[in-house]
């Protein structure tokens, strides 16, 4: 599944994930503002995909500057990057992609075809993400046993990446290898990424999946309702502390209590070498209205105050291992995470 994002004739097309699984519509991002809004309003989501879209956003911003002024100055580039950096603060892939695009600009700033160069770099980020997902998924599939029931939270599939997926990529690779597996997908309140996106993805490919409310994880952990947990990540600190969709921390505690392996599947671009531990990871707080309303329908008392943090941090001590395109990372995490950047 890779048709959820594509580039055609100087325009970025992204599948509107707010409408799934009921409608399949695309949003056209013709410039910087369109692209930034698509990230902010969660037309697109998932750390790797946010990074990819940000890369295209930088390319579009440079293209706009060249078309209106005849060139793109460093000040123009800084303005473009600043706008994109403000969109979602937790996912490190966003900053990683922007820095890579800035490095490309510095190398080719005097090139008359700078807009084309930047577009090519954005496409490279996209293609490489798909390749990395496939590689990490092959490593991860080795951890899956025939007959496993795998719990996953939120959506870390093709829709959250350039294609194929991270946590669901591992599931997909295990399924493709012939292993008989089943997935338990949490609904993932309040945005329902599990119910709307993960279930849809897996159903499209004939992978057995069962939807459960978020608050069933404790009961099913105690009753041996699943054998492994695999989730994605939005930012991983140098010591292994991991920010992921809100609710992940609670799942990790249940897994530890009942000796269930808990895996994080993420590309190297999700590791942040500049943040030492999870307490330093910025946690996005979104508008409380997103808790009170579901697809425009009010769910509670209209004037009640609501709070919505998008992410929480799972301590490294609760994580069994990390699944990356460079292999499986086991404790001591800090030692081996550092080696990713050598």
Whether 234 is catalytic is yes
In whole angstroms, give the CA distance from residue 95 to residue 331.
26
Q: What is the pTM of this model?
A: 0.95
Q: What is the pLDDT of residue 2?
A: 58
In this prediction, residue 181 carries a pLDDT of: 98
Query: Please, are residues 147 and 105 in contact by the beta-carbon 8 Å criterion?
Result: no
Predicted pLDDT of residue 294: 87
- Per-residue pLDDT at 145: 98
DSSP string, 31-90: SHHHHHHHHHTTSS-SHHHHHHHHHHHHHHHHHHHHHHHSS--HHHHHHHHHHHHTS-SS
Residues 17, 33: Cα–Cα separation, whole Å: 18
Contacts of 160 (CB under 8 A, 6+ apart): 45, 46, 47, 48, 49, 166, 197, 232
Are 141 and 177 in contact by the 8 Å Cβ rule? The answer is yes
Mean pLDDT, the chain, rounded, equals 96
Nearest to 152 by CA among 179, 121, 115, 185: 185
pLDDT tens column, 181-195: 999 999 999 999 999
Pairing of strands 235-236, 285-286: unpaired
In order of start, what are the domains of the chain with their CATH numbers?
5-133 (1.20.120.420), 137-339 (3.40.50.10470)
What pLDDT, on the 0 to 100 scale, is given for residue 111? 84
Q: Which of 76, 129, 234, 312 is flagged as catalytic? A: 234
Give the pLDDT score at 164. Answer: 95
Pick out the chain residues at pLDDT < 50.
Answer: none
């Amino acid at each position: 599944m890779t048709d959820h994002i594509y580039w055609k004739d100087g325009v970025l097309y992204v599948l509107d994930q707010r409408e799934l699984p009921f409608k399949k519509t695309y949003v056209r991002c013709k410039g910087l503002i369109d692209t930034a809004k698509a990230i902010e309003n969660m037309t697109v989501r998932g750390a790797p995909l946010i990074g990819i879209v940000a890369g295209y956003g930088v390319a579009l911003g440079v293209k706009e500057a060249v078309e209106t002024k005849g060139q793109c100055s460093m000040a123009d580039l800084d303005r473009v990057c600043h706008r994109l950096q403000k969109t979602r603060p937790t996912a490190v892939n966003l900053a990683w992609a922007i820095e890579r695009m800035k490095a490309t600009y510095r190398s080719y700033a005097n090139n008359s075809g700078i807009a084309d160069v930047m577009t090519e770099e954005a496409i490279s980020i996209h293609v490489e993400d798909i390749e990395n997902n496939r590689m990490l998924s092959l490593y991860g599939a080795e951890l899956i046993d025939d007959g496993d029931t795998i719990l996953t939270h939120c959506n870390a599939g093709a829709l959250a990446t350039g294609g194929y997926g991270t946590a669901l990529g591992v599931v997909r690779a295990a399924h493709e290898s012939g292993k008989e597996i089943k997935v338990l997908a949490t609904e993932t309140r309040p945005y329902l990424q599990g119910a709307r996106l993960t279930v849809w993805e897996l159903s499209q490919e004939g992978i057995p999946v069962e939807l459960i409310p978020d608050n069933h994880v404790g009961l099913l952990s105690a009753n041996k309702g699943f054998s492994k947990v695999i989730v994605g990540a939005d930012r991983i600190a140098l010591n292994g502390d991991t920010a992921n969709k809100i609710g992940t921390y609670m799942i990790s505690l249940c897994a530890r209590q009942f000796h269930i392996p808990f895996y994080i599947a993420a590309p190297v671009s999700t590791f942040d070498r500049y943040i030492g531990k999870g307490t330093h990871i910025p946690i996005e707080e979104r508008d409380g209205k997103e808790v009170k309303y579901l697809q425009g329908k009010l769910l509670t008392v209209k004037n009640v105050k609501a709070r919505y943090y998008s992410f929480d941090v799972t301590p490294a001590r609760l994580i069994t291992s990390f699944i990356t395109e460079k292999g499986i990372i086991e404790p001591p995490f800090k030692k081996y995470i550092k080696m990713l950047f050598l």
